[in-house]
A and B are shown apart, each in its own frame.
Chain A
């Protein structure tokens, strides 16, 4: 231990907090020498329960950092003050990898990683609070794939994040459960926020702008966790997503048309409400089936039980791109309507009479909201094709959605705030 902490000095900060946290250990990492070694050693030798602090400054790393100790807070002086730069990174496929439970990362920035920004793999209870991940050269195919990347994790909280420039998704939550993404801003990514193969997610109070697509709720086959469900998307502004798709081909987000507000692809029980979609040149909102061939008998490619209500739609669909231009615009004309459903259904019966009650798309929007059911399946079945249906009243109805997601660490946050106030007053 004494060897390991050669470059780290200790401060024991006793925080009295109404008896909840009797004592917490704090390490302030000395970032004046070899920062790679100093910070990595601190992350390895920290005892569970430690707060690891990094001061102000821009610090350059040549390799990935990783954390495998549980119950750790990693805290910088703010997302514009403590900057961890990876533009010289030679090894490692992400800037920071977290593999231990109950980790809280706050107030720092990760810049210019060749791979992903921060990845949390298989973590129970992970929080990103006021964290920035950015590729500073702007949209570029050589940028890393994901900014914030929790995967196979449970109790995921992303709050107050800013993510810019990811060549796949800025905020990407994959194969996880119990998720909140809120108060965050995603700009200049291919996908602003992507929830993929997840169960129980609330995505709210976010701004997604200047991405290729603002928010994606996707489900893909052939993965350990699939059949995404119970997702709520509300109070977000997904506006002016106008960046040409710069994803490396082969990835599913490479198919997202420039200028899309929200895409729901497969998944079930998705509720979309109180959002603002505007200035998205391809389409404000699309509900579609998984479009590629696949070999996975356990996978349902169709979106089921989707409820879209009380959203605001601004201008959209006047200059479609990619599939929106090639497949949708010829059927609907310009501009594309506010809400587009591909009409992909399961079987001939559903093609003619609509999906069963519990597999439907329900819409309750204010008068004047435009809609198209492209009837792709019926169009394939009938030799003379099928015309686009535009009557939004065909989709009247609703279903009972679950209440808000509650995360264990979200209560802790109130405590942390009060602790800060307490310390500040001393």
Chain B
């Protein structure tokens, strides 16, 4: 009985293959996911060729894509992100307690970066900047970034990356203008590396373990993934690690700060990541104080040390290299090295609060 239900839900998400070609975007071939194109080693020139959206400009996904959110997201210059997971019919990801799920070949993780013109009206005048694809092919994961046309009709492959001006007005009404950096393929790997192989970062159990609204209904995402046939092996939800949102004042600063560092830093700063050479390991589960920076000396920081002696000096955020580097926008100093051109004020406030509390 269970199996019948299971396969039924899997089939369900692919049965209604409605090809919606909006007359407004006539040149784009939106509507049906093109599995063949996705499995090619050479990327498509235009995002539309993959058929991942019914309507790209509206970010309404094609059948088979499930929207998801991350509880503590990576900071990317305040960009708003639309995330979707796609898997071909009949396969699902296998649950992992601490690491990214084991996704089947054919999986596509889709992330679109966008800015509303005014964050006080977040649903109006949204400009799509780029859509990044992580495609699980037979030979491993592949990463590509597509930059949206100004008229938002389609997005074009930019394997070498691109810099483009982006402006917005923040929730306080302050205008911002930055040179937004679309990463090149190798830069994608700069963060998305696990044991030297390209790998997703975000979809871990602890990042997905919270409620998301799907239309009229609200579900725990992990449950939803399981119910829709995207995930197998989910234990009782009580057994899944929960992390606090960074603005959750009811949670201790330590838990929020470590969750923040986990998402923003630990993809590199872990034994299996590109930042292993530093010996600074910031995964959520790291318990050795010198490994997570407590009175740890810098190794190859160069001027990234800012003249300071330790990564974290308990009680002294201004004497901690961690704060010096996360507050910088100088390419020779700043951390993370990629993915931001501005300072994440809310994140810095949290890290300062945590370091100040440390004894």
Residue numbers of A with Cβ under 8 A of B are 1, 3-4, 36-37, 40-41, 43-45, 62-64, 66-68, 89-93, 97, 99, 113-116, 121-122, 141-146, 149, 151-152, 167-168, 172, 174-175, 220, 222-224, 248-252, 292, 294-296
Contact = CB atoms under 8 A, between A and B. Distances in A.
A222 B341 CA distance: 31
Given A66-B184, A175-B277, A223 B299 contact: yes
Interface in B296-320: 296-310
A67 B190 CA distance: 11
Contact of A115 (B159, B291, B305, B332): B332
B305 A248 contact: yes
Given A114-B330, A121-B274, 13 more contacts: A37-B160, A40-B160, A41-B159, A62-B163, A89-B331, A115-B332, A116-B302, A145-B301, A149-B300, A174-B300, A222-B291, A248-B301, A250-B301
Contact of B277 (A63, A89, A121): A121
B305 A249 contact: yes
Contacts of B299: 174, 220, 222-223
B102 to A, nearest CB: 23
Given A3-B45, A44-B159, A91-B181, A141 B303 contact: yes
A36 to B, nearest CB: 7
B290 interface: yes
Interface in B311-359: 321, 330-332, 334, 337-338, 341
B298 A174 contact: no
B337 A68 contact: no
Given A90-B163, A250-B321, A223 B277 contact: yes
A52 to B, nearest CB: 14
A115 B42 contact: no
Contacts of B334: 93
Nearest to B41: A1
Contacts of B162: 37
Interface centre among B298, B306, B307, B341 (most CB of A within 10 A): B307
Given A66-B190, A92-B337, A122 B307 contact: no
Nearest to A145: B302
Given A4-B159, A41-B160, A222 B290 contact: yes
A222 B279 contact: yes
B189 interface: yes
Given A3-B45, A4-B159, A251 B338 contact: no
Interface centre among B185, B306, B308 (most CB of A within 10 A): B185
Contacts of B45: 3
B199 to A, nearest CB: 14
B22 interface: no
